[in-house]
Amino acid sequence: MAFPKKKLQGLVAATITPMTENGEINFSVIGQYVDYLVKEQGVKNIFVNGTTGEGLSLSVSERRQVAEEWVTKGKDKLDQVIIHVGALSLKESQELAQHAAEIGADGIAVIAPFFLKPWTKDILINFLKEVAAAAPALPFYYYHIPALTGVKIRAEELLDGILDKIPTFQGLKFSDTDLLDFGQCVDQNRQQQFAFLFGVDEQLLSALVMGATGAVGSTYNYLGKKTNQMLEAFEQKDFSLALNYQFCIQRFINFVVKLGFGVSQTKAIMTLVSGIPMGPPRLPLQKASREFTDSAEAKLKSLDFLSFTDLKDGNLEAGS
């Protein structure tokens, strides 16, 4: 099977699902969104229908439509479109995986099921394998997010021998701060050429030094450019400069975390920064408050993160 011409690396934006004021999906802005990511943020890979995209709050049918729209609009513009196909129901996960292959996505990602939880690593692998088997032509990525799922199987143990069970396995999105586990995933699989994508944006630098080959996150939607500058400094071994960028990004994230920061707030910030209307979130989330949005805007300005957009005009200007 011809696997992706390019290994998945660098920044991957976890896409937001734009919605209209009455909570329906707003497909009409996805084209602009693609252009914005590529031109203004320098981000050319996306992770669709994940946590940031409220994937599990959408119906299976909606997830299919959203996936198609991103693949269609991303054609010849984006490098890779990865579809998160995880679900509590195995059959639904398989349906979404098969669909992702049919529409020509570049890979699928699956979270550990988390209501009735797998008791052992082998059971979890069996579940993941069944999903992977529904899309044998696509690279498979495991989405490790123990704080949200409560599934306490270490990623490093899961990866042990995984190619025997899931030959399409190509890497993981590691959304946790346990860098012993992450480091051992890298260390034990160095010859495999897996993608080790880190999912905790606010401390990406700490994972880069531990061997991360890329990152998936919500902040790359609007801080992609700044983060790419950090990646560049890191690759050029200018670690002092890289740390300055990391601190810069941390000042913003630390600020919003203390106000209460979730998917709703991400949508509000993205609307602010990109000028593209992301709309409100779907229940059970509530739209970000006016105070939050104003505070976040003030903070972004004070940190000079808005230099490449002109909010007053509603135009998107390339920044330095």
Phi/psi-derived region of residue 109, left when phi > 0, alpha when psi is between -120 and 50, beta in every other case: beta
Binding mask 218-247 for a copy of itself (x = CB under 8 A): -------------------x-x--xx--xx
Q: How far is CA 198 from CA 55, 134, 186, 296, in A?
A: 19, 26, 11, 24
Active-site option among 173, 225, 226, 267: 173
Using the rule CB under 8 A, is 179 a contact of a copy of itself? Answer: yes
Give the whole-angstrom CA distance, residue 14 versus residue 217: 5
Binding positions for a copy of itself, 104-163, rule CB under 8 A: 112-120, 123-124, 126-127, 130, 148, 150, 156
- Amino acid at site 233: A
Q: How far is the CB of 171 from a copy of itself (least distance, A)?
A: 18
- Segment interacting with a copy of itself, rule: CB under 8 A, options 97-105, 176-184, 214-222, 307-315: 176-184
- Amino acid at site 50: G
Q: How far is the CB of 249 from a copy of itself (least distance, A)?
A: 10
Applying CB under 8 A, what is the total number of residues that bind a copy of itself? 68
Cα 123 → chain centroid: 25
Using the rule CB under 8 A, is 251 a contact of a copy of itself? Answer: yes
DSSP state of 147: H
Q: How many CB atoms lie within 10 A of CB 251?
A: 13
Q: Is 240 annotated as a binding residue?
A: no
Strands 169-174 and 140-144, sheet pairing: parallel
Taking the CA atoms of the chain, what radius of gyration do you get in angstroms?
A: 19
Q: Which residues bind a copy of itself (CB under 8 A)?
A: 51, 54, 56-60, 62, 88-92, 95, 112-120, 123-124, 126-127, 130, 148, 150, 156, 177-180, 183-184, 186-187, 200, 202-203, 205-211, 237, 239, 242-243, 246-247, 250-251, 253-254, 257, 260, 262-263, 282-286
**Catalytic site positions:** 143, 173
